[in-house]
Amino acid sequence: MTRKTRIRAAIVTATALVSVATVTAGLSAASPEKAGKPSKKEVAALFDTWNATLQTGDPEKVADLYAKDAVLLPTLSPEVRTNRAGIVDYMEHFLENKPRGEKVKTVINVLDHNSAIDAGLYNFHITDPETGEKSVAEARYTYEYEKRNGEWKIVNHHSSVLPAG
């Protein structure tokens, strides 16, 4: 092999390697971020699942929708819940009221393929367990969702009574 032939072979090999690296980098940069990004409708459906799970009356099933390290700032309790036991405890008491959520206004931000935020206003239709009296609690909310091990989980949930005004 002549010196010119070796130089040409080296140039062709280097060009091929640069081309493969460029294509690979382009694919890895584009694929996961764009292909798996959820729609706003898919994110909105996560609340519907949560609300339907409330209807089961099972605090364990509701807690299953939260990540292990989730934070819950609940509507009807001043205590911040930062673990499953705390979330189950809150849900046991909350579910006694037979709550049914109804979104009034929602703003969804899809952050990337595995995280989204759903914030807005909702009403909770509740029933007093002792008197049977029905009422509506107007509240504001924020749900932060993350996809973990292929499953959407609530990682942060804030709900508070809507201030007067």
Give every CB contact of residue 97 below 8 A, 6+ residues apart in sequence. 126, 127, 128, 129
- Work out the average pLDDT over 82-99: 97
Domain ranges of the chain: 1-35, 38-161
What is the spatial distance between Cα 83 and Cα 60, in angstroms, rounded to a whole number? 12
pLDDT band at residue 15 using 50, 70 and 90 as cut-offs: very low
CB 98 within 8 Å of CB 130 = no
Kindly report, residue by residue over 105-147, the tens digit of the pLDDT.
Answer: 999 999 999 999 999 999 999 999 999 999 999 999 999 999 9
Q: How many CB atoms lie within 10 A of CB 95?
A: 18
CB 157 within 8 Å of CB 72 = yes
pLDDT band at residue 64 using 50, 70 and 90 as cut-offs: very high
Tell me the longest C-alpha to C-alpha distance in the chain. 98
CB 161 within 8 Å of CB 137 = yes
Average pLDDT, the chain: 86
Q: Which listed CATH number (1.10.10.10, 3.90.400.10, 3.10.450.50, 3.30.420.40) goes with 38-161? A: 3.10.450.50
